[in-house]
Structure 1
Amino acid sequence: METSASGGVGSAAGLGFQYLAALQALIDQLESSCEDFVLGTEHETHDAIDYTISRDGRVLVAAQAKGAVDGAGGRPLGPSEVIRIGIRLAAVAADEYRIDTNRRLFPATKSLLAALQEGALRSASDVQALLSRCGTAADVSESLSPDRLLALNRLQVVYHDGTNFELVQRLTDRILEHRRSRLQGAGSGSARVLLGYLVAEMLFLSGRRSDRCLDRDAATALLRSPSHALAGALGRYDWGEVIGPVPVCDRVTRSDVLDAIMLELQGPPRRAAPRLLSINGFSGAGKSIAVATFVELTASRYDRIVWFDAGADSSMRALAHSVLERIGRQPGTDVAAAFRDCIGESADQWLLVFDNAVSARDLDPWVPAYGHVDVIATSTSTSTWSTWRRLSIEGMARIDALELVRIRLQQPCLNDHERRLASELVLALDRWPLAIELACAHLVQSGRRLSVTSEYLARIRSRVISDEELTPPSYRTHATLLGAVFVALEDTLARSVSRYELAPSELLDFIAYLPPLHAPATIAANAIWSGHATGEEPGSHQSRADQDLLLDESLRGLARSSLVQIQQDPAVGPCIRMNSIVAEIVRDRQDASTVERVLKSLQLTIDSVLRKALVSERYLVAGALIPSGRHVLRHALEAQALTLNGLTLLGNEANYALRIHDFEWARSHFELQLDLLDKAELDSPVLRAKIFASLALCELSLNTGESRVFDLIDRCLAACEQVLSSDAQAKQVLVEPATQLLEVMAVLEFSPACDHGPKVQDWTRRLSALDLEVGPSTLAKVSRALSSPDNNDVDTLTELTEAIAGEAGTYNRMQLSFVRAETLTVLGRYTEAAQAFKALAEEANVRGLGLSSGWVEILNAWRRAAIDVLSQDVAEAHQLCTVLDVLVGDAAPGTEEDRAHLVLCRAATSVQREPAEHVTYRMNDLAETPFSTSMLVSDTTAAELMRGACSEVARMRQRFDWAPIIGYHSWARGELNGIPCYFFGLGADLDLIRSGDDLCLSYEGAWVVSESGVGLYVASPQPVLIWKCTSEGGWLRKEAFPLAMPVVKLRERVAGGISVPTHVLLLGVEDVTSSVASEPGTMELHVTATGVLGL
């Protein structure tokens, strides 16, 4: 049985439209006027009136709602119906009569309304004549009194475009904007909940016998319901979600800065060019805290707030990837572009904060040109923000500065005398937040608080540096700030001598060379202890418990001085956040011998800890130490204080880079290490052999040219020969570079690009002469076996399973496990492979390796599955491709060649079924990606074949408005209930045709035929194209592929003039025959093909 609901007073659709139209009028009245009013629902005596708006007892508007659930697709509103409604409305005295409708208006209706609104109808006879001309029934108008006829001059028709659903969406948006503009929490879901509550309230009022009214105060109270109540009704907060490292610091009130930000960013963002605001000022001005306070106060304006540490590109990329994952978007190879495009296209309202930004130019790749977006950047630079609105921060407002003093002194209030002293203090410190923080810490620790203000200021003035050469250039205009830092450092030093075994001042000396926003305190402490116990392992003269206690005591002392803030890191323990100007002053105060001692100890400590982390395969710890190593090495190179430990630290950082397959980073470190050896005129043949072998692997992976790789292999062998010529017992130290060299040589030996046979034979002879106990690894042997067409892959899988069980090393075990997952793919066991890759990716992330130990295998498996998708449309292969797409996310392999194939695999994964914008983005990326030969790849035919297939699929989808393409496995012709019918076997893919709650089992469609294939276009709620190519290679176009004869026969039948309409039954099985129409329980859909489309 079919039903049709076109609206009207008696239908649910009609009532729904009535209440929605009344709510829109209510919101209009609230926002257009500040005067009181009353909204009346369902007039008590006149049933023609659905709602009224009154003021002081006078009816301003009397309205009836005439809606259709179909909107403009329903029955149009004619002039006679308009007049009949208007006449009934005019029974009540009102300033205006209104008809709310979402039904189309007949042209005659529009002419009638235009004439009425011109105001030229001064008499009842004028109105009567107009009604007659518009074809209105005479008996309707002739029976009216002159007053009621003239009242029609005040008749308005308000057209609401769209269906009830579309009106609900518009009202939801208005409620959302109404609340956010008043800093009240709401998101899309909670605004919809509130709209539903308002509709229910209207229903409740209209059902009462009397008092069916809602006044302005009551309506305002409903619209501004408490945020926690809305969140409770929805079950969650759907607004103000903050993502990213917002500073966790004691709040510093800066009302002047906050007011300025509020003035620049008034209300929620509109869909337009983003509002860009840069907040510029010296370090310690409170920029980040001011923005954090703005975020806290205005979170209700935004759906999402993303806080970037713009000083670290890697952390920005990781956070953007996390954001995209949360909202279900694929990052692609360029995460900045994907993030920018996603924010620009989003209907949500966003606030992006880029803290510690260097320049506007660095942020351009991240900021969309259009969208519901506000963007705030903080920066110490003032010269690169000309295209942004700029806000320069100086000292605090006096009242805020005094309040900061009160809070830091932990006093409930300041008396008059204390207030005068506090005013003197903040004025002398130029109301600079960092200086006030340091001053208050000094006053608290003195025990006399504000009573020592004069003495403290005298000390500050005595520390002012008159020689500009000794003052950091950016801070020469803020001498009191520098003085406050000097006094704090002196206090710390004085207390260190008498109270601490691990002196806070000494800890500060070491922390100053570590990352200022995230300095591992244990590294600094161990470096101090390594300097005290020369020749011992760092910190070896004390127990771990003693070290922790001493470090905790020292950190507390530093925190009390306000020079640092303490944070926790799960990988490296307590970390210190220090203002950059403090770190700079600490370094500048050190003499040359202190700088050398500190940097020497830090290089020793970080090298030792990093080496242990790599040996024990604690890659999370190793990754957390890398920023500290980089900072220390940069300072050591600038101070010409690089030690042998610094050299090995360079090598260990490069080895970590090799582990995560960042070959460019590894190469740069190895080359710097080699350059420093040359400059220091150090022979070090063992170290050079290791460097040459590692560089050969880097250059081979980066495809820089065979001559460079050959030269490095020769130099590595020469270094090994040199070592053994002077010490024949030194074979053990050469096993590592020799094994690595053997792997490189094996790759070259089996390289299809060119013939390296004679070269490899010579290298093999020289390596054998060294008499080192080295041979190919299990991984190398298995990988070589898999590349052979004659290999028994089942035996290889068994061999891999046994090797994995016996492998103790985490990295090697994971490499072998990735090869096993690839082998499952080779065997066509896609579901098992998908499960294996999922488990491996999870373990790799937990261990801090990412996908580095399995990139080759992931791409090999992905390519193989993608080929099965493009050629056979294998459902399990498509599932594996999707799993790998999600697992890889924003990660990218370390070589250009692998990155190119990653782009190809992503395009092949999405091209048949993903939304248009996603496919277009990936296809554009693929079009710009070159495939080139290398020492490892001699032929790009397969890649170009896949690229061509992806392009053809995209073109086909574009012809059908980007309908997804589903392959059918088989077809047959037979009868169903005596009616000729075609059967198509779609397998599990049949589920993709129906969407959501659609329960329909029958659709219309059309045959589609071309030279390359034949299929069926199905006009379901989410239209699809069911298709199969006439070639056994599917979308892969190659003459060698034979024809798929069943598909050829169907194409000939359709192209030859198939009778239409044709009945087609889509079955959830893969194999269909003419004798089997439908098995019991088999899912099926019926399609009536009403035509044939030729391409």
Structure 2
Amino acid sequence: MPGGCRASVGKRWALTSELKVRPHGHPMARRRRWDTRRGNSCVAFSSKCWTQRGSKVDGGRVAARGFRFQYMRTLEAMIAASDEAHLCRIEGPGRDSTSTDDKEVVDFDLIDNAGRCLVAAQVKSGGSGRTASAHSSFSVLTRLVRSGVSQRYELITNMAPDRQCSALVDALTSAPIPDLREELEKVLSRSERSLHLLHMLSAEELQRLKRARIVFDHRTDAEIRSNLYQCLRSYRNRHRAGMGERSGGLLVGYLLDEIHAKAASETSGWLLSDFRQESLIEDETLLQALGRQDWGAIYGPVVPVPDVNRPSLLEDMETAFPELRDGNIVRTCVLTGLSGIGKSSLASAYLARNAFKYDLILWIEAGSQESLVMSFRKLDAHLTRASNASRTVEDATLVRERVHSLLAALPGRWLMVFDDARSREVFDWLPNLGRGDVLITSTDNAVWSRSDCKISVGSMSIDEATSAGAYVTVPNAYPPATESSRKRSIRWHSPLNVGHWHWNSHAATLKAAVCHLPTLASIFIPSRSVH
């Protein structure tokens, strides 16, 4: 059985048998700790969890914490891997691999299509308050660089560096190759064994050591898991797939379990293409597993999604609400334009296209103070899961503040749409805190200076109108004499469509409809003359 697989299968039994059954002061326990400090780690300590000397250790719990930290960091590396990476070998190369001599030292590595190693990493976890020494860290790094050729070597640990270890990090980072050995001798001068390891390195291995780094990860397990969720959701969003908080936790747990299973198998490699396919599991599968959809939930009277595709405006809106965020400040985008130009439909189209990015979407009728109050009362009941009948009539200000507080406390991303807003009436109702975006539609063009982005919605372009079938071309009977006449006919797409659809539904000929075009134009566009 390969070394990494043997460690994964045997760690829990060995740790519980050697550390849980035997007293801490037992000679065998002392010998095991002595071997670990000198790099001769046996199966019982291959989980690489360091504990304070003299403290009582629950071996099973120590091993479980070590595995959890190791596999979460492995999953992070797989999610963040570049397209160049082809394979992740969990618990390092197998027995039949020729890319490394010291198979036990590598916890995971990333390989490209040509079989070259992109990164070889060992993950070490320690108890609370433990520090990483320069000598123990250097011992691991020398084993990594002597294990095989890699573009990068990493020692990942959740322990804090002591003063000498910080000096080791500085030397590896800043010292040039000709001076590196001398600088390392100064840092490691107190340890004869470390100096011996340094002098044993060849010139090529010293250059590899220059590519080695120590990564100190001081996050808690909950913070790492939260980052896994955010990275996985961002990856799925880039491929237009949804994921909420509960479904994200379900998917992260599944991927971690798969990593553990592959670590214990004879073939511990996981193709990155297969991993990405597993990460992009269908929305329907997540929905069935969870029992309900916890992302893209829409509440409120959303207007119908339009048939007309206006990609340039939708892209501007998506740019206003980027995926990566700084802080907890709500971002605001305002769609302005004439009444009936299609602002509400455009907002609805944005929802249909980007619902997977949000856990919750709220549509507010903001045409008047009364509709705002009513919408917020309904929203308050929805967020607090209380029926309208059970609530006493409260002051509108209290309702507004409670809704803002509930939105600010939501862990997931949300979107609030204020449709047909009047600036003076809606300003106090806009939330200021939370992981949310606010989209406003309004006919007021000059009063939204406080918004982060303002998009002017005009009439459709020729390409948009053509793709939507939004105008009628009548050869010979109504030919546009010039390019400007053609553009003017495009701007009249609404009356033309009305006339065409109306008479077509009554089986009238198109030629008969043309006779009524001047009348339709005068009705819909009275300020224009018809040629």
Partners of 2:196 and 2:385 lie apart in 1 by 60
1:343-363 CA distance string (max 9 Å, x none): 33433212111111122x322
SS in 1 for 2:416: strand
Partners of 1:206 and 1:283 lie apart in 2 by 61
1:364–1:135 Cα change, 3 Å: farther
1:136–1:340 Cα change, 3 Å: farther
Please state if 1:292 is matched with 2:348.
yes
Please state if 1:82 is matched with 2:137.
yes
Aligned length: 456
- Give the equivalent residue in structure 2 for 1:341: 405
Partners of 1:303 and 1:94 lie apart in 2 by 41
1:129-528 aligned at under 5 Å gives the runs 129-130=185-186, 132-133=188-189, 135=191, 137-138=193-194, 141=197, 144-147=200-203, 148=205, 151-210=208-267, 212-248=268-304, 251-267=307-323, 271-328=327-384, 334-359=398-423, 361-388=424-451, 389-405=453-469, 430-431=490-491, 434-448=494-508, 450-461=510-521, 477=527
1:93-132 aligned at under 5 Å gives the runs 93-120=149-176, 122=178, 126=182, 129-130=185-186, 132=188
1:546-566 CA distance string (max 9 Å, x none): xxxxxxxxxxxxxxxxxxxxx
- Give the equivalent residue in structure 1 for 2:48: 8
Partners of 1:67 and 1:264 lie apart in 2 by 41
1:401-452 CA distance string (max 9 Å, x none): 234447x99xxxx99999989x999955553564355223323234135443
Specify every segment of 5 or more residues in structure 2 that has no aligned partner in the other structure, as ranges: 1-15, 25-43, 50-61, 96-102, 387-393
Of stretches 261-270 and 1-10 in structure 1, the one that deviates more from structure 2 is 1-10
Partners of 1:163 and 1:354 lie apart in 2 by 39
Please state if 1:53 is matched with 2:128.
no
1:802-830 CA distance string (max 9 Å, x none): xxxxxxxxxxxxxxxxxxxxxxxxxxxxx
1:103–1:51 Cα change, 3 Å: same
- Give the equivalent residue in structure 1 for 2:58: none
Please state if 1:22 is matched with 2:74.
yes
Partners of 2:239 and 2:313 lie apart in 1 by 20
SS in 2 for 1:98: strand
8 Å CA contact 1:344, 1:371 repeated in 2 = yes
1:987-1002 aligned at under 5 Å gives the runs none
Partners of 1:298 and 1:418 lie apart in 2 by 43
Q: Which has the higher helix share?
A: 1
1:125–1:240 Cα change, 3 Å: closer
Give 1:243 deviation, angstroms: 0.9
Aligned residue identity for 1:376: L
1:839-866 CA distance string (max 9 Å, x none): xxxxxxxxxxxxxxxxxxxxxxxxxxxx
1:204–1:249 Cα change, 3 Å: closer
Give 1:308 deviation, angstroms: 0.8
Partners of 2:173 and 2:522 lie apart in 1 by 82
Aligned residue identity for 2:215: V
SS in 1 for 2:455: strand
Partners of 1:426 and 1:402 lie apart in 2 by 12
Partners of 1:365 and 1:137 lie apart in 2 by 68
Give 1:195 deviation, angstroms: 1.6
| Displacement over 6 Å in runs of 4+ | 1-7, 329-332, 414-421, 423-426
1:312-335 CA distance string (max 9 Å, x none): 433433332343344449988522
Give 1:274 deviation, angstroms: 3.0
Q: CA RMSD in A?
A: 3.8
1:548-600 CA distance string (max 9 Å, x none): xxxxxxxxxxxxxxxxxxxxxxxxxxxxxxxxxxxxxxxxxxxxxxxxxxxxx
Aligned residue identity for 1:340: H
Partners of 1:401 and 1:176 lie apart in 2 by 35
1:451–1:265 Cα change, 3 Å: farther
1:730-769 aligned at under 5 Å gives the runs none
8 Å CA contact 2:314, 2:346 repeated in 1 = yes
SS in 2 for 1:334: helix
1:65 to 123, 128, 133: 123
Aligned residue identity for 2:416: L
Partners of 1:128 and 1:353 lie apart in 2 by 59
1:603-642 aligned at under 5 Å gives the runs none
1:172-212 CA distance string (max 9 Å, x none): 122122323443211122222222222223223323323x3
1:954-974 CA distance string (max 9 Å, x none): xxxxxxxxxxxxxxxxxxxxx
Aligned residue identity for 1:18: Q
Give 1:62 deviation, angstroms: 1.0
1:239–1:449 Cα change, 3 Å: farther
Partners of 2:229 and 2:349 lie apart in 1 by 28
Partners of 2:352 and 2:486 lie apart in 1 by 26
1:417–1:195 Cα change, 3 Å: farther
Aligned residue identity for 2:406: C
Partners of 1:11 and 1:254 lie apart in 2 by 56
Partners of 2:478 and 2:250 lie apart in 1 by 50
1:256–1:57 Cα change, 3 Å: closer
1:433–1:358 Cα change, 3 Å: farther
1:139–1:263 Cα change, 3 Å: closer
Give 1:168 deviation, angstroms: 1.0
- Give the equivalent residue in structure 2 for 1:39: 88
8 Å CA contact 1:78, 1:106 repeated in 2 = yes
- Give the equivalent residue in structure 2 for 1:546: none
Aligned residue identity for 1:61: V
8 Å CA contact 2:133, 2:165 repeated in 1 = yes
Partners of 2:377 and 2:105 lie apart in 1 by 57
Aligned residue identity for 1:126: E
1:419–1:266 Cα change, 3 Å: farther
SS in 1 for 2:104: coil
1:512-591 aligned at under 5 Å gives the runs none
1:239–1:22 Cα change, 3 Å: same
Aligned residue identity for 2:159: R
Aligned residue identity for 2:202: P
Give 1:140 deviation, angstroms: 5.5
1:457-486 CA distance string (max 9 Å, x none): 13335658xxxxxxxxxx765678xxxxxx
Partners of 1:194 and 1:200 lie apart in 2 by 10
1:53-78 CA distance string (max 9 Å, x none): 2333222211101124x5xx253222
1:890-905 aligned at under 5 Å gives the runs none
Aligned residue identity for 1:218: D
- Identify the structure with bigger relative contact order (alpha carbons < 8 Å, sequence gap 6+): 2
Partners of 1:29 and 1:370 lie apart in 2 by 33
Aligned residue identity for 2:260: L
- Scaled by the length of structure 1, what TM-score is found? 0.38
SS in 2 for 1:378: strand
Give 1:143 deviation, angstroms: 7.5
1:836-847 aligned at under 5 Å gives the runs none
Of stretches 331-340 and 307-316 in structure 1, the one that deviates more from structure 2 is 331-340
8 Å CA contact 1:426, 1:436 repeated in 2 = no
SS in 2 for 1:382: coil
Partners of 1:83 and 1:478 lie apart in 2 by 81
Give 1:299 deviation, angstroms: 0.4
Aligned residue identity for 1:380: T
Aligned residue identity for 1:339: V
8 Å CA contact 2:496, 2:520 repeated in 1 = no
1:276–1:125 Cα change, 3 Å: closer
1:259–1:63 Cα change, 3 Å: closer
